[in-house]
Amino acid sequence: MTLYLNDITAPEPSPERLAADHAAIDALLDGGELQSALAEWDRQRREYATWAALAQLRFQQDTQDEAAKALRERADELGPVATGHEIAIKRRFLDSADRAGLEAAVTRQVVRLWEADVTTFDPSIAARLAEENKLTAAYTELTAAARLKIGGQEVNLSGLQPFAENLDRDTRREAAQAEWQFFQQNGEELDGIYDRLVKLRTSMARDLGYENFIELGYKRMRRTDYNSADVARYRDEILGTVVPLLSRLMERRRRSEGWETLYAWDEPLIDPKGNPAPLGDHDTLVAAGQEMFDRMDGRLGIFFKLMNEGGFLDLKTRPSKAPGGFCDVFPTVGMPVIFANFNGTYQDISVFTHEMGHALQCYESRNSGSFDTIWPTTEACEIHSMSLEMLSYPHMGLLVGDDAVERFQRMHLEAFLTLLVDCALGDHFQHEVYANPDATPAERHAMFRKLERRYMPWRNYGDIAYAEMGATWQRVLHYFLIPFYYIDYALACCCALQFWVAARHDPREALERYLALCARGGSASFLELLKSTALASPFEPGVLAGVVKEAEAMLG
């Protein structure tokens, strides 16, 4: 029987209900019933998470719908209350004398996650967490409401992409101007939102006993087996290997086009013949996607059919839909949903295969353990998504046409290299921002531009003064919504490139190894998952350089 998205429901919780649920767990623990307490708590968390996921999804689907907005506001208010109960329950489990028994019951990894979680919350910061939710929602609403005029049309930020990568240089420039005009007009408001977020996060960190937000940010990301020094070394590897390669590729582009200068608005046009785009619109792409997954593996085909027929794909662009793409899960039923904004460019394909990778993973691991292991930590999650982008290369003809397959792969590979650099830059920027929380917005812009010159020495904004001043970071929702997430893409990219290299030698073996990683879900930490999948750690010196060399060989 097909399960439909519209059939999924979960009761709306109230503060009283959450308190009663908490009391029920305490009563079970008072009676020494550890297993029953864990089982009941798992059930409660799945129900709450399903309700919260539905609330967020409805808002993202239509940011102007008053009922959806009100529901999301209630969810944002309730979030910190639920977190308060959750942390208290985790503390109680952790304080239980029988540590070995707890590890045996929930796995060592889950205990480590809880140990990180309990350091991120205290009831005294609950109101500030609710305020943080409001500020991040304000960023989403503001960017979702962008209406840009170009080519006689009115588009949102996602709809601008076909113009931004247009073959015609003037059109690309016009798209860049339209985008920057929006950011300049809203610049003060965006600076204000970010400034309040930085100060709010810093004040919570200090009250929790941290020097600044950086370490708290890592704990929030549940990073249990590496720290900011490891990440800094990885950024240096990117600086040393990827930046010089991309500089050469940019220079090659400039010369082959005969341009005196390669401007920022020329960068989105990666393929000189025009970036290969999907063969058709949404329906064509979804049908081709079905064929592609059927060919890759029967298990993938069956899963995609479930997603499509059940209404778990929301990929079309609509005027008031939130920008971006994501995958979420409804833990009561174990079904994921994917969300995107198709715009007719190659990004539709990347977003589609990317989010399907996330969806596949949480579906594969839905029965593998507890609520805590549905997903691994996010850098591991991004391996599932980014690897599927690359493992689907051999079937790309279905989506872009057989004659464009090689061009698509080259373009996609170059886009991945750019992403590595962009993530290192963004991560470095955030470390500076949170190490200097009292910096003014103008100082933050200067910090960013200085780093941008180092990580993207080719970047030239021409006469777009607002971008030249250092405002490019305002376009990245991760900096506002989930601090320190951005480097996860760069860590995962190194692993996805390893799958790509392996698949060129033995596609079947690589896919089996990939699916095994998906099924392992969040049962282990990032580095443990890599080890069990025979992937080398990006933190090991030379690993990144090895895969980048393979990419360079393909790019010529």
What residues make contact with Zn ion under the rule CB under 5 A? 385
**Among residues 313, 323, 322, 396, which one has the least CA distance to residue 355?**
313
Q: Are 253 and 262 in contact (CB under 8 A)?
A: yes
**DSSP letter assigned to residue 316:** S
Concatenate the DSSP letters of all residues of 194-231 into one string.
Answer: HHHHHHHHHHHHHHTT-SSHHHHHHHHTT--S--HHHH
As a whole number of angstroms, the distance between CA 452 and CA 429 comes to 9
> Rounded to the nearest whole angstrom, what is the least distance from the CB of residue 315 to Zn ion in the complex?
15
From the CB of 324, what's the least distance to Zn ion, in Å? 10
Cβ of 500: how many Cβ atoms within 10 Å? 24
End-to-end CA distance of the chain: 50
Q: Which is nearer to Zn ion, 213 or 484 (CB)?
A: 484
Q: Which neighbouring-strand residues pair with 338?
A: 313, 327
Q: CB 253 → Zn ion: shortest distance, Å?
A: 27
Pairing of strands 148-150, 313-314: unpaired
Nearest to 285 by CA among 327, 335, 346: 346
Q: What residues have CB less than 8 Å from 295, skipping those under 6 apart?
A: 301, 395, 398
- By C-beta, is 385 or 525 nearer to Zn ion? 385
551 vs 131: CA distance, rounded Å: 44
Residue number with the smallest Cβ distance to Zn ion: 385
Rounded to an integer, what is the distance from CA 473 to the centroid of its chain?
16
Q: Could you give the 3-state DSSP secondary structure of residue 464? A: coil
Nearer to Zn ion, 140 or 385 (CB): 385
Query: Number of C-alpha atoms within 13 angstroms, CB side, residue 148?
Result: 27
Residue closer to Zn ion, measured from CB, 204 or 380: 380
Distance in angstroms (rounded) separating the CA atoms of residues 478 and 536: 27
- Could you give the CA distance from residue 352 to residue 181 in angstroms, rounded to a whole number? 29
Q: How far is the CB of 51 from Zn ion (least distance, A)?
A: 23
CB of 355 to Zn ion, least distance (A): 7
CB of 382 to Zn ion, least distance (A): 5
* Nearest distance, CB of residue 121 and Zn ion, angstroms: 25
CB of 417 to Zn ion, least distance (A): 18
Q: Are 124 and 207 in contact (CB under 8 A)?
A: yes
Nearer to Zn ion, 174 or 348 (CB): 348
For the bound state, the minimum distance from the C-beta of residue 385 to Zn ion, rounded and expressed in Å, comes to 4
Nearer to Zn ion, 241 or 392 (CB): 392
Do β-strands 313-314 and 326-330 pair in parallel, antiparallel, or remain unpaired? Answer: unpaired
Q: Which is nearer to Zn ion, 365 or 385 (CB)?
A: 385
Closer residue to Zn ion in complex, CB, 269/329 = 329
Distance in Å, CB of 374 to Zn ion, minimum:
15
Kindly tell me which of 326 and 466 has the beta carbon lying closer to Zn ion.
326
Give backbone dihedrals phi and psi of 42, rounded to 5 degrees, phi first.
-60, -45
Helix (H, G, I), strand (E, B) or coil at 540: coil
Nearer to Zn ion, 377 or 385 (CB): 385
Nearest-approach distance from CB 203 to Zn ion, in angstroms: 30
Which residue number, 166 or 385, has a Cβ lying nearer to Zn ion? 385
Secondary structure class of 334 (helix, strand, coil): coil
Distance CA 264, CA 269 (A): 10
